[in-house]
Structure 1
């Protein structure tokens, strides 16, 4: 089929209504529901699966695993020779001492943790001497895999690879509470929530994606009650798109959230955290978001320390972080970029909502609670600073070329922040968790010396932390 010389070439709008040359436009239903549907839930690009792409993806995941495992210091080999907090005291303990059914149906802090318990079941299939290395590796592998999913799913909204990397790499680089959550299966729920956000926004074209998306949504919903913050987005997609995968995702999330809430509200699971006093004051909540969440998002925890929270230096850093955010908004308004306003707004709303729900129920702001909102704010900033053009021979400093400067500046800033926060000594994890290999050697000797001994104690935190500082391993696994 040919067109006459000079005839207009049909164009397909991108996710914000800007035309993409050379592509045919799909039919849009009349009215704002159709426009909102196509803008918020566009179809993910269909790219051929080639050996080269598979190799690149494997290299990406491999680098992410190595990057993560190198971040944790410890008395032994860091992450590979220590087991931290709930990973040992709850998940490995239950997998080693309970049937799989009993372990999976045992709530912790008021909700079920399906995926961490699944990983613990895999780990405890191995000899006890390999548990620390396996546990940390599975956590790092999962984190890198989530980043890869974000990269693929974000292609529906962000066409350029650099933009997709900017929203995917922070899943691995995570510069909030890295001493607390890196290589730890108990906190995989936080990057998983962010990944589910992108999965909900992307309409998969391939059958495998359509099947995998609802399964992923169900796993996340059965692993964290916080999935409730994404349920409205899933329902909006199901109502607007009316595609089978979207409806199944909404149903899966509703099922998972329903199970979690029923367990909590019925009293079968209690949220017992020492010192937890809920705080539902909205002004206090917004203050924490302004003074903690935004600064850590753009500057990282190494430069935003609790110890200097009342100093002029800290106030200056808070103002600097807000200046970065407001500059991004200003550039988008000035149209020096081609902002994805809808994507940025949806990401920002979920960042605020997720943060508010967590800290209102907790009455405080543990570092790990900052991660999901950090990732969402970064995604929103990337959407605001999306360049007008990455190709076409435009001048770097010209009217079109200038649009790339803000995104390059953001990428540079985040790279510096990631490097500055690569390693962070946690107050307990770095100094008080004993070497796993040394514990195995000592406890195996105890079990062999006393045939009547049933179990021995392993440390996963400070001895003073009764709830997650230690756990028991049967001697039958050590003799």
Structure 2
């Protein structure tokens, strides 16, 4: 039997009726409970047609995400478009402007490599210095929105309704944890990238482009953050349970990237020297931080839970409220007996706890940016627990399968309110202490032109009191 060129390849139905590709890429199903785990974690999917309408919607989604992100940062100039924040300038732009691309990309920072942020810095420094702030912010915002789009696409097999997929994708852009520190910032793209990689590992790629892109994406993330180590067990599980080429390549890519990171660190090639950092491996302290910070910020946002609260009882009440929301989701999932995505919820929860525990144990503190990946995973777990059995009928109030769509609508409403309440949150240094980039360019251009022998001038991407965000050099040859 032959198939015409360009015709769809016939597919045979899986046991649940989902089409499974024929040929070499058809997965070999494990028997017994491994097979059930495989179906729950890595369900088969069928290709979604790429239409002009879907392309337009994806472009609109990314465009809205970029505009939404760029409007969040205040500053002495035009906010995100006229400031360069922290390591983005002091490390990445500095190294890209003063080193060869190879030397810059192989220079570790804080104990590990940052492949993707350094790639973006190389792109930015191809432009005139006056455009660096705009380029840096745009690349960060586009990357963030792009990661959200990846999550939306990758979550399709688990969450078939567009609203559910939007609920797990939109928080990548909304980021209501420490938004003043991580929005429009390439150095912190590792955190949403970890979350996107979680979803890419769960997704079964059916198109050739996806089968190539998924391992490449896994390698880029692993070469950009050592925290990819926390996703290696999931990648291995995917490779063992599905036995498909893309899954095996993703596991190899993560192992390779993390191996490079750890080898460099353990052999002394990358030192983690941050002033005031003292690791804390006390498990009780770790649990306390998760209970009192991670879960409350996930459901209430930074503006309400991390701000200074005068009355201790009010603070405790907010913590209890956040936990009540999470526990109510679990209770509803049990009571309704509508086949919630328990395995997805468990996988997201375990990774939320694991990533959080590893980060703060090594740091001995809980910087706000460390809350983001676990926040996103906890949102996923909650959506999985409240996933309605059907989106085709209206709410029903009869029996344990009642409530219909009410719980998921209530969650969506809560997260929307929290997102808008945290749209702008002033950072103690970024909002007030980062000088205008355009003013620095004007002043430094005049200095370079006044002294033909001057080799470089000083720019700042943060307060002078912070060593890691201090002065960095830009060659005068780029300004004359």
TM-score normalised per structure 1: 0.94
For the residues of structure 2 that align with 1:50 and 1:416, how far apart are their CA atoms? 33
What SS is found at the alignment partner of 1:361?
A: helix
What SS is found at the alignment partner of 2:139?
A: helix
Instruction: List aligned pairs for 1:96-115, cutoff 5 A.
Output: 96-115=97-116
Match of 1:402 in 2: 403
Equivalent residues of 2:94, 2:472 under 8 A apart:
yes
For the residues of structure 2 that align with 1:198 and 1:406, how far apart are their CA atoms? 23
Change (3 A) 1:242 1:27: closer
Determine whether 1:376 maps to 2:374: no
For these two proteins, the number of residue pairs brought into alignment is 461
For the residues of structure 1 that align with 2:241 and 2:255, how far apart are their CA atoms? 17
For the residues of structure 1 that align with 2:311 and 2:279, how far apart are their CA atoms? 24
Change (3 A) 1:291 1:302: same
Q: Displacement, 1:397?
A: 3.7
Output one character per residue of 1:425-475: Cα deviation in whole Å (capped at 9) or x when no partner.
000000000110010000000000011111111110001112212211000
Instruction: List aligned pairs for 1:305-454, cutoff 5 A.
Output: 305-308=306-309, 311-335=312-336, 337-391=338-392, 393-398=393-398, 402-454=403-455
Instruction: List aligned pairs for 1:173-188, cutoff 5 A.
Output: 173-188=174-189
Match of 2:299 in 1: 298
Match of 1:77 in 2: 78
Equivalent residues of 2:47, 2:207 under 8 A apart:
yes
For the residues of structure 1 that align with 2:36 and 2:62, how far apart are their CA atoms? 36
In the alignment, structure 2 segments of 5+ residues that lack a partner are 1-11, 20-26
Q: Displacement, 1:30?
A: 2.8
Output one character per residue of 1:300-352: Cα deviation in whole Å (capped at 9) or x when no partner.
00001252287111110000000000000000010254310000000000000
For the residues of structure 2 that align with 1:11 and 1:118, how far apart are their CA atoms? 43
Match of 2:161 in 1: 160
For the residues of structure 2 that align with 1:112 and 1:30, how far apart are their CA atoms? 41
RMSD: 1.7
Instruction: List aligned pairs for 1:35-114, cutoff 5 A.
Output: 35-114=36-115
Match of 2:7 in 1: none
Equivalent residues of 2:145, 2:173 under 8 A apart:
yes
Q: Displacement, 1:33?
A: 1.2
Question: Which aligned segments of 4 or more residues in structure 1 are displaced greater than 4 angstroms?
Answer: 10-14, 26-29, 398-401
Match of 2:34 in 1: 33
Equivalent residues of 2:395, 2:404 under 8 A apart:
no
Determine whether 1:276 maps to 2:290: no
For the residues of structure 2 that align with 1:227 and 1:20, how far apart are their CA atoms? 31
What SS is found at the alignment partner of 1:402?
A: coil
For the residues of structure 2 that align with 1:467 and 1:309, how far apart are their CA atoms? 32
Change (3 A) 1:358 1:309: farther
In the alignment, structure 1 segments of 5+ residues that lack a partner are 1-9
Equivalent residues of 2:168, 2:383 under 8 A apart:
yes
Which moves more between the two structures, 204-213 or 394-403? 394-403
What SS is found at the alignment partner of 1:76?
A: coil
What SS is found at the alignment partner of 1:302?
A: helix
Match of 1:120 in 2: 121
For the residues of structure 1 that align with 2:365 and 2:402, how far apart are their CA atoms? 44
Change (3 A) 1:335 1:309: farther
Equivalent residues of 1:28, 1:35 under 8 A apart:
no
Match of 1:136 in 2: 137
Equivalent residues of 1:336, 1:402 under 8 A apart:
no
TM-score normalised per structure 2: 0.93
What SS is found at the alignment partner of 2:235?
A: helix
For the residues of structure 1 that align with 2:317 and 2:469, how far apart are their CA atoms? 37
Equivalent residues of 1:87, 1:184 under 8 A apart:
yes
Which moves more between the two structures, 114-123 or 327-336? 327-336
Q: Displacement, 1:13?
A: 6.5
For the residues of structure 2 that align with 1:132 and 1:258, how far apart are their CA atoms? 33
What SS is found at the alignment partner of 1:390?
A: coil
For the residues of structure 2 that align with 1:353 and 1:343, how far apart are their CA atoms? 15
